[in-house]
Structure 1
Amino acid sequence: MPVNKRNPMPRARLSILCSIALACALAGCGKTPDSPSESNEATLSGPDAKPGMAASDGKLILPIIAGRPGAVYFTVRNDGAEPVTLAGVHVSGVGRAEMHQTNGGSMAKVDSLPIDPGASMVFAPGGLHVMAFDVSPDLKPGGAAELTLTFSDGDKLSMPLHVEKMGGEDAGQGMDHDNMPGMHH
């Protein structure tokens, strides 16, 4: 369920609702959808969401080796009439999260991301993604975390992330962090 700074929901209630929504979504199908759908978006858009914005298909891929970064994948869509700019990301249970773009075998940090009306941005292996640094050992496969997107106007949109181990379907594909400039944090 989305949360924004104008109408915050107590974290305990949000955590319970996110866990229930994630469990329901996972029970409904064995595969993460390739694009946003009514079934996986229903818990992510509502009166508390940034107007016109929807997010779906969130997952956090844990690193194979403790101390290495994990990755976060999701889709964010602007159904509003105005362009927006995604200015930051936060992941619960992670020390630091940064947007990155893989292009031609190299990776670079992305400080902000404009999203035009009607456009979707897909964060997926081998392209846009979120690097998750200092991942808590408390995050385990099958668990849940929360992703909060912050826009340039200060509005926020939160969504649940399903926690998965690396090596699952499409996990980390095309991402050799050790051989990419700027990835030795």
Structure 2
Amino acid sequence: MPVTKRNLPPRASLALICSVALISMVAGCGKTPDSPTESNEATLSGPDAKPGMVASDGKLVLPIVAGRPGAVYFTVRNDGAEPVTLAGVHVSGAAKAEMHQSNGGSMAKVDSLPIDPGASMVFAPGGLHVMVFDVSPGLKPGGKAELTLTFSDGDKLSMPLQVEALGSDTGGGGMSHEGMDHGSMEGMQH
């Protein structure tokens, strides 16, 4: 015999209605759009997220000597229909972060970076990267930090960073800033 509201005591009827409502709510909750995916990919969500922008593969490589700068590597992709300009970066656990470009043994600060629709920018050793200064001693290999990208219109996109030691299997690709020509970066603390 099917269970119906009319042949149940009042408390059982209320319990059945609550159970059905709970099952209905849970059935619609299959995803969490505000959290990064398993592939360490930050997707646009939330009020400040830059529409159409995706960032992935973030890592912070700690300096080998305390007090020296560290480096951040990641990929950012414009899946939107309009060009955007990356205007700033912030890394939790660092006093200052700057975009830099290495080229032919020298390195220069990058103030802004245009990204066309459909284009990806790869921040990697030997090319574009983020330098982080005054890194907190609390950041340790195996830990996490957060990178926040700020675009010229004020929109932002944040992503997790895996903290790694320089020289680890995946950390920095052996990149060292020793021997780099920093002459074009007067006044910078390297």
The TM-score bracket by the shorter chain reads 0.7 to 0.9
TM-score by length of 1: 0.75
Q: Which residue of structure 2 lines up, in the alignment, with residue 161 of structure 1?
A: 161
Q: Partner of 2:177 in structure 1? A: 177
Residue 177 (structure 1) shift: 1.4
Quote the residue 1:45 is aligned against. Answer: 43
Partner of 1:30: none
Matched length: 150
> Letter of the aligned partner of 1:88 in structure 2?
G
Match of 2:151 in 1: 151
Counterpart-to-counterpart distance in 2, 1:64 and 1:119: 33
Write the distance in 2 (CA, Å) between the matches of 1:96 and 1:174. Answer: 23
Q: CA deviation at 1:170?
A: 4.7
Q: Distance in 1 between matches of 2:44 and 2:148?
A: 15
Structure 1 residue 45 displacement after superposition: 1.1
CA distance in 2: counterparts of 1:154 and 1:87, whole angstroms = 9
- Aligned-residue offset at 1:47: 2.9
Structure 1, unmatched stretches of 5+, are: 1-16, 26-38
**Which segments of 5 or more consecutive residues in structure 2 lack a partner in the other structure?**
1-33
RMSD: 1.9
- State TM-score, norm by structure 2: 0.73
| 1:58 to partner: Cα distance | 0.4
Q: How does 1:46-85 map to 2 (within 5 A)?
A: 46-48=44-46, 49-85=49-85
Following the alignment from structure 1 to structure 2, what is the Cα–Cα distance between the partners of residues 145 and 168?
A: 17
Which protein is bigger by CA-based radius of gyration? 2
Extract structure 1 runs of 4+ deviating beyond 4 A. Answer: none
SS at match of 1:179: coil
Deviation at 1:174, TM superposition (A): 6.2
Q: Is the 8 A contact 2:167 2:174 kept in 1?
A: no
